[in-house]
Amino acid sequence: AQSVTQLGSHVSVSEGALVLLRCNYSSSVPPYLFWYVQYPNQGLQLLLKYTSAATLVKGINGFEAEFKKSETSFHLTKPSAHMSDAAEYFCAVSEGAAGNKLTFGGGTRVLVKP
């Protein structure tokens, strides 16, 4: 069975500072990994995904994530936080077979201080 753990339910960063959101997964097969962002009362928007190609994945809005198999991690980073990055972020894993469901982590709420 697959599972996802996001360390830290809340992260506070200053505008212009590094954003680091942690995600660890467990999967019985090579995983497909995703990061989504959710703004209040909205659905989820895909930031980036890892699908067994390059281990360093670049996404939208300046975010990137690195897949580390040895650490079973897929941490999300952004070099310089912007006020518009304040939102909820979800890491998710799929075990990849056609139509397989996504399993989500508990989410991390990011607060950006001016």
Partner 1 sequence: GAVVSQHPSRVICKSGTSVKIECRSLDFQATTMFWYRQFPKQSLMLMATSNEGSKATYEQGVEKDKFLINHASLTLSTLTVTSAHPEDSSFYICSARQGGVYGYTFGSGTRLTVV
Which residues contact partner 1 by CB under 8 A?
A: 32, 34, 36, 41-46, 49, 51, 90, 94, 96, 99, 101-107, 109
- The nearer residue to partner 1, 101 or 113, going by C-beta atoms, is 101
Rounded to whole angstroms, the maximal C-alpha distance in the chain is: 44
Element (H or E) spanning 25, and its range? strand 19-26
Instruction: Compare residues 37 and 81 and give the one whose CB is closer to partner 1.
Output: 37
Closest CA to 23 of 1, 46, 3, 40: 3
**Between residues 20 and 46, which has the closer beta carbon with respect to partner 1?**
46
What's the min distance (Å) between Cβ of 105 and partner 1?
Answer: 7
> Least Å distance between CB 79 and partner 1?
25
Q: How far apart are CB 61 and partner 1 at their closest, in Å?
A: 15
Q: Is 21 exposed, middle or buried (0-12, 13-18, 19+ CB in 10 A)?
A: buried
CA distance 13 to 114: 9
CB of 35 to partner 1, least distance (A): 12
Give backbone dihedrals phi and psi of 83, rounded to 5 degrees, phi first: -55, -35
Nearer to partner 1 by Cβ, of 5 and 17: the residue is: 5
